[in-house]
Structure formats: C-alpha cells, structure tokens
Amino acid sequence: MSTDLLQLQCVKGRLHALNGVFLNENRYDHRCCGQPQNACRGTTALTPRFAPNARNPTLLERSMLDQSELLNVLSQNDRQVLFDQLTEVHFTTGDLLYEPDQNVDFCYFPLGASIASYFVLTDDGSIVETLMVGREGALGGIVSAGIAPSFARANVMNGGAFYRIPLDRLERVKRSSPAVDALFTRYADCMMAQVFQSIACNAIHTIEQRAAKWLIAATERIGRNDIAMTQEQLAAMMGIGRSYASRVVQRFKLDDIVRTRRGGIEVTDAHALSRRACTCNARVKRHFERVLEGVYPAV
C-alpha cells in the first residue's frame, strides 16, 4: 500500500463510521471507479488531505506540552536515532488510522493534545472503544515485529499532530538501539494493563462511573476541559444506548460538573467528576508510574 493512501471500503460514496460516530464524507479525495459518489460500491483509495503537510521533525521544534511523553523518556542520542526516521503528519478528529484486517504499515505517536482510540466491531455492527492513546503512547507495531494486520479499528479522537514512522524503519531502529527496543517493550506492558483494566471496568462498573472515567482520561490527555464529543458519540464508544449516556450527562449537568454545547462537553468541576468515576484510571496510572515513570499524562 502506498504511504500516502489509506484503503477503505466506499459504500454509496460515503465513509461510514459505525453507529454514525465518525461520518466524514468530505475529508478525503475519492480515487475509485470514477462513478458518482452515490453510485460507487468499490474499494476506494483515499488520499488524506493532511499528506502534503508531512515533514520531518527536529528535537527542538516543540515545547514539552506539544511533544510525545513516551519519546521524551529516551536519552537525547536515542531519541535522535528515532527522530531521524519520523515524519510529522496532521489529522483531524474522526480520521481513520487502521481498519480491521488492514496491514499496519505505520506506527503513530500522538503529540500534545492529539488522541486516538482503538475500537472493536461487534456482531450487531456497533463499535466499542477498548483503548485511548494520547501523548503517553503510540499506535501500531508496538508488539508485532514488522507489518501485520490490525485486529481493531483506530480513529483519531482529538485532531492534531502525530509523528509517523514506517514499521520496517522502526524495526531497524529497535535493532540498533536497545533503549528504543526496551521502551516499546515496557509500553506494550502498559498497554496490556489498560486493556485488562478496561475489561474489568466494563464488567463491574456503572455507566456513570465509566462515563466519568472516560471524560477524566480525555481531559488529562488533551490538557483542557473542553472535549469535542457529542452524547451520541460517548454512548457509541461505551457500547451503551444514547438514552443512558444522556441521563448520565444530565445528572452531571444538574450537579454543575459538566456543561454541554453543540458537539462538545465541558468539564467544569474535575474534582467532583473524579469522585463519580471508578478507580480504573488511577490503577492504570500507578502501573505506568512503575513501568514508565513520568509518561502518563497528569491534569
């Protein structure tokens, strides 16, 4: 697959995000069968409009808040070995990184307030978020050595800058730098901790606790209290009905914990929201601090 193309299934000329969470009809240029949008049923090569802005980063370009906390763990020499192979790209909210069964050609590092999430497709056609990744982490090629198919879908949840590296180059860097290899091994351990905790959370915690946990995790990663997220999107990511999510958000509003606007939720009392949340974020953060100290985002 070309480095500048994402292969997606074009159905009636629209990019369908399951459950209507992400529906981006105008974000890509169609390069398919030449039929009108409402007639196309083929597999389309879609050219992301951020591609022309791709460029190589330098170590001194970014403030600490705009960097990757994961990469900042490395020494300057080890970081530069990796940075020589990185390209900076920009995504907008809703952009697609991977589809299930699609080869994962790149590893992405969210920078600053950028966030991406993994989603699993269920039998009824809905999607459920399994893992949120911000500047503390990376997506793609964390465990596998080389190119392998993706199991989950990965979408950008909060648009912004990412570093990108082809997986074959990443593997060469790992072989040449034991520190980079060890960093990815430790981060893989932290990812597994998040997945394990997410399974337990979905099984035993209430919708209110889980919603509060998600809002806290998002604000920690983007560094502000205003989240571009509708109640319908929140419900879809949590795998619950919209009415359940709406009732929880309304309770938060009545208690002056959040405010809502068109297409967004603002956290107005983070401490009160934390008291409503389960302890899953804190458990994951403690594990990060033991395995990769100073990487997990703080409010």
Name the 3-class secondary structure at 74.
coil
Q: Tell me the pLDDT tens digit for each residue of 82-119.
A: 888 999 999 998 899 999 988 899 999 999 999 999 99
Q: Is residue 157 a contact partner of residue 96, using CB atoms and an 8 Å limit?
A: no
**Domain CATH number, residue 113:** 2.60.120.10
Instruction: Out of 40-49, 84-93, 215-224, pick the least confident.
Output: 40-49
Question: Residue 261, Cα to own-chain centre: how many angstroms?
Answer: 23
- Residue 194 in any domain: the answer is no
Structural domain span for residue 125? 50-177
Q: What is the pLDDT of residue 296?
A: 80
* Count of C-beta atoms within a 10 Å radius of residue 166: 16
Beta-carbon-side half-sphere exposure of residue 125 (alpha carbons within 13 Å):
5
Same domain, 96 and 173: yes
Of 25, 5, 22, which Cα lies nearest the Cα of 14? 25
Residue 167 clears pLDDT 80, i.e. is over it: yes
Q: Is residue 137 a contact partner of residue 296, using CB atoms and an 8 Å limit?
A: no
Q: Among 159, 177, 195, identify where a domain stops.
A: 177
The C-alpha atoms of residue 177 and residue 14 are separated, in whole angstroms, by: 43
Q: Provide φ and ψ at 194, rounded to 5°.
A: -65, -45
Residue 58 or residue 19, greater confidence: 58
**Number of folded domains that form the chain:** 3
pTM to 2 decimal places: 0.76
